[in-house]
Chain A
Amino acid sequence: MPVWHERTRSLREAGELVVIGIAGEQHADRTRLFAQWHGIDWPILWDPFNLTGSSAVPNITGIDEHGVVRVVRPKPETFDEDFLAPEFAPPPDSDPRPWVLSPAALAEPAAQGPVAALAWFLSRGGAAKVEPQALEAAMERRLAALALAAGAPGADPAWSFRLGVAHRMRLDSPAAHAGDLSAAVAAWTRALLASPHQYVWRRRLQQFGPRLDKPYNFYGWIERARAELAERGEEPVALATRLCGSESNERGSPPFAEGEVEPDPKGAIERVGGLLDVDATVVRHCRREEGRLDLPTDVQVHVTLRPRRGVHWTNDAGPALVWVDPPEGWRAERRLSTLPAAQAETSDEVRAIDLELSPDPGVLLGEELTGYALVFVCGPDDGPCRLVRCDFSARCR
């Protein structure tokens, strides 16, 4: 893509060519950082739901002045003669093309139905400054519409993919549910199993999956980009959502502490229900999901904690800890993790860690992963502040 940025620079400046990007990525701010790093100044559109239907990227398409597609995946060295020099006749039939997502849908995000739900998420409805309860209800309504479309008999698997994207969007919003990543992974897996050659969908699942499922480091460029931007004297675009360990392909990266000493071996810390939602999501190798049993069996485990309404973290009391007991025959890259806390005295954000589990040789079937979080919380509302234990479990196979 940077190749085309350079190749078209003079053409763009001369007004001979318009370049438009479409980024098929979950997080728009990561594309913004990427564009800033490469000095891209042409418009980039955000297509997290894969509305273009592309099954792999990059895709380069040349469209003439009549709106007709003339070249796909052109070669930079023959681009002028293949696309710019020829005169193209207007098409005989100028019927309007089908809409992928119409401006009308984008303008009416309050409408019902799955298309309106996509429009609402795309218009960053979730970022609107509304009361938390109103935002939660609005998201729930849109997710229900997408779930209905995804679950309809004979539904296009694209709806399952989009449902997963929407769940991931909610996880990154103030209305997050602890189970949103589980829901997203389940929906993406359904979509991929129905359409295994859809590499844009596959990448979304791999993003949160085990390291050996990634053909390369998806976001290894971010630190390099930040460093180079700093050298250029530019402030890098801030990323609203922190990269998890799975996304950055790093093991035991700060601020997580590694450790093997169990913090509550006797279960002495009080278990109090109703304060916190805890979710443990296991993401497997995509090809394992497709039935390839000869491939690595490592899994990525994401643990997500979310205080319920009226409950908040007491950050000055101490860090939250997550302890993991892998099933017999499995090894965890670390068993004790310290969760990063907000700077504020109290907060109620989602906290999450991820770690990788590997089976010993010869272990084919994993069993149940168990674990617990030890957290300092206050509430609900004016309730007491205390250290509580929240247990969780997930299946590794």
Chain B
Amino acid sequence: MNNPGSPAGMTAREHARARRPDYIGPMTRRRLGVGPALAGAVLAVAGSTPPQEVGFRIGQLVPDVALPTIDGGGVVRLSDLRGKRVLLIEFASW
């Protein structure tokens, strides 16, 4: 597993490396009011190639996403969860 004590699961060495001028760290992101997933420039509308920046930013509607479950049992769409308080946990077993 990644290091739970460091920001975003990075090791101390990686954290030190991340302290470069062009790196937007968690504290800065918090001050700016943006989420840790800011870096993602991913797909927007099916069929379009140019990326559209999306991310989880405080105060903004969560970008919608539909992904399959790990057991192949179906697809979950985040916007289907409206009306409920949701904790979204992005992780990896490593």
Contact = CB atoms under 8 A, between A and B. Distances in A.
Interface in B53-76: 53-72, 75-76
A1 B91 contact: yes
Given A62-B87, A91-B61, A99-B64, A115 B43 contact: yes
Contacts of B55: 53
Given A69-B57, A84-B85, A122 B94 contact: no
A63 B46 contact: no
B91 A101 contact: no
Nearest to B88: A61
B22 to A, nearest CB: 8
Contacts of B77: 103
Interface string B40-53: 11111111111111
A59 B36 contact: yes
Contacts of A24: 90-92
Given A72-B30, A100-B63, A102-B66, A54 B90 contact: yes
Contacts, number: 305
Interface residues of A, number: 95
Contacts of B68: 45-46, 106, 122-124
A58 B46 contact: no
- Majority SS of interface residues in chain B? loop
Interface residues of B, number: 74
Given A56-B8, A65-B83, A45 B70 contact: yes
A152 B51 CA distance: 12
Interface string A22-63: 111100111111110000000111110011111111111111
Given A18-B87, A122-B68, A207 B94 contact: yes
Contacts of B2: 57-58, 216
Interface of B: 1-4, 7-11, 13-14, 18, 22-23, 26, 29-30, 35-72, 75-79, 81-94
10 contacts: A33-B93, A51-B65, A55-B8, A64-B85, A115-B46, A197-B18, A203-B94, A207-B94, A215-B3, A219-B93
Interface of A: 1, 3-4, 8, 16-25, 28-35, 43-47, 50-73, 83-84, 91, 94-106, 108, 111, 113-116, 118-119, 122-124, 149, 152, 155-156, 158, 195, 197-200, 203, 207, 215-216, 218-219, 221
